[in-house]
Copies of this chain bind each other. A is one copy, B any other.
Amino acid sequence: MEMSKNSEMTKPLDALNQARNKSVLAELKNGLQFVGTLKAFDIHLNIVFDNAQEVVEGEIKRNLGRVLIRGDMILFLSPQNK
């Protein structure tokens, strides 16, 4: 049973569990931005996006399909409520 967005979180990964199969923004340490559908993640913050797009200043730069982004490059992850 998936927890609702307002259910209690105790650990950061709970936030990712709630965002699974939803659109998530990943901003990387080198400034790159990717948006995609969150399919999988682990404790290292390695993530898999489907339908991933690299975004530069709000414009789509590349369509990448499925990507596995290495967790140690993540600056932040933000679920997109759109």
Q: Which residues of A are at the interface with B, using a C-beta cutoff of 8 A?
A: 9-16, 28-30, 32, 34, 39-42, 45-48, 52, 64-79, 81
Q: How far is the CA of A45 from the CA of B15 in the complex (A)?
A: 15
11 A-B interface contacts by CB (under 8 A): A12-B42, A12-B46, A12-B48, A12-B68, A34-B76, A45-B70, A64-B78, A65-B81, A67-B78, A68-B76, A73-B75
Question: B73 and A15: CB pair below 8 A?
Answer: no
> Which listed residue, B13, B42, B73, B78, touches A29 by the CB 8 Å rule?
B73
Q: How far is the CA of A82 from the CA of B73 in the complex (A)?
A: 27
Residues of B close to A32: CB separation below 8 A: 75
